[in-house]
Amino acid sequence: MSATPAPDQPYQRPVDPAGLVGRWVRVDDRNPASVGVLDHARRAAGSTGWEWELRTSEGVVSGHGPLAARPLTDPADLRSARRRMRAELADLAEFGVPGDPALVRAADDLDLLELEAAARP
């Protein structure tokens, strides 16, 4: 075995952002960037852009045009997203109606975030 560490390989953005649907991503098309679960991304009819929808803790963000999305890998982004999702989950549990679909969705999104964070190198 070699004692020299392998060099970090920069993330190669997929050619097709549709491959990131259902994952936690950071979309850099806005200022500030949006972080959430990419619900859908499809080519806009008759153009080179995309129609996309991102589910964030603040609500749904949608857009069209170029889609600069990448998986959520930055530790600061992960901490911030985790903190926001835990706060949303606590609010829904305390003030929401039992059996509210938003509570289930928030819990699922937090589980997905934890799973993706644990799986990252």
> Positive or negative CA dihedral for 27, 39, 17, 25?
positive
Tokens of 33: 């960037």
- CB-CB contact of 27 with 34 (8 Å): yes
User: Where are any strands of DSSP class E within 1-86?
Assistant: 24-27, 34-43, 50-56, 59-65, 69-71
pLDDT in tens, the chain (121 residues): 556 665 555 555 555 788 899 999 998 876 678 899 999 999 887 777 889 999 988 889 888 888 888 898 889 999 999 999 999 999 999 998 888 899 999 999 999 999 999 987 6
